[in-house]
A = this chain, B = another copy of it.
Amino acid sequence: MPSQATEDYLKHIFQLTLENPHQLVSMGDLAESMEVVPGTATSMVKKLHRDKLVHYEAYSGVKLTSKGRKTALRVLRRHRLVETLLVETFGLDWAEVHEDAERLEHAISDKLMERIDSFLGHPLTDPHGDPIPASDGEMPTTKIHRLVDGVAGDKVTITRILDQEQAFLRFIDERGLRPGTTVRIEQTDDVGDAMTVRPSRRQPVTMGRAAARKLLVEPAG
């Protein structure tokens, strides 16, 4: 069994890779995301490499091996099913389930997980719009479009939020950018590193590129 810490590192590497698909994950980003000092990230990544869970080359960065990805997807499956359970069954709020799910994802046996999956009726996505990997570890590979890659005039539907921080989710929520919402990209500002989008019947929202990178979309009518 991988330790909790191992599962967490793999999950974070997986998620960071999603935000920037064609780059290795840097120690700095990983450390920030895990909330540890960079040296800790380096030493943990070396252990993951020793266990063949990641590819790692000093000073260049890290990415998952297929073994590592498989483990990450199992963790993600548990995380997302748990979040769905907490919201749908126990009525917790969209923005506040992350912390509980964060701990519960390491404490649930495969058998229990499958029972929960049946109980929920085999949901395909969690409350944040994230797809729930299947129990064989495979994930529905829908093509991924990032809001940040859109251009002015595009109309897109928000499908997923890649950051589960309460503060970020509240930002999204308050401005009407939940999964399912369709928005028009009003303008993009290379110099200002920002873009402005307008959800229908709502105020336009301007956000930095870093934020826009965390929203996934699909083209809308």
Contact = CB atoms under 8 A, between A and B. Distances in A.
A111 interface: yes
B89 A119 contact: yes
Interface stretch (A55-63, A97-105, A189-197): A97-105
A162 to B, nearest CB: 24
B92 A115 contact: yes
A92 B108 contact: no
Nearest to A116: B90
A177 interface: no
Interface in A69-103: 86, 89-92, 96, 99-100, 103
B104 A99 contact: no
Interface in A108-132: 108-109, 111-112, 115-116, 119
Contact of A107 (B89, B91, B96, B104): B104
A112 B89 contact: no
B107 A103 contact: yes
A12 interface: no
A91 B106 contact: no
Contact of A115 (B90, B108, B111): B90
Nearest to A103: B107
Contacts of A107: 100, 103-104, 106-107
Interface of A: 86, 89-92, 96, 99-100, 103-104, 106-109, 111-112, 115-116, 119
12 contacts: A86-B112, A89-B119, A91-B115, A92-B111, A92-B115, A99-B109, A100-B112, A103-B106, A103-B107, A104-B104, A104-B108, A107-B107
User: Which 8 A-B residue pairings sit nearest by Cβ, starting from the closest?
Assistant: A103-B107, A90-B115, A107-B107, A104-B107, A100-B112, A100-B109, A90-B119, A90-B116
Given A96-B111, A100-B112, A104-B107, 7 more contacts: A90-B119, A92-B111, A92-B112, A100-B108, A100-B109, A103-B107, A103-B108
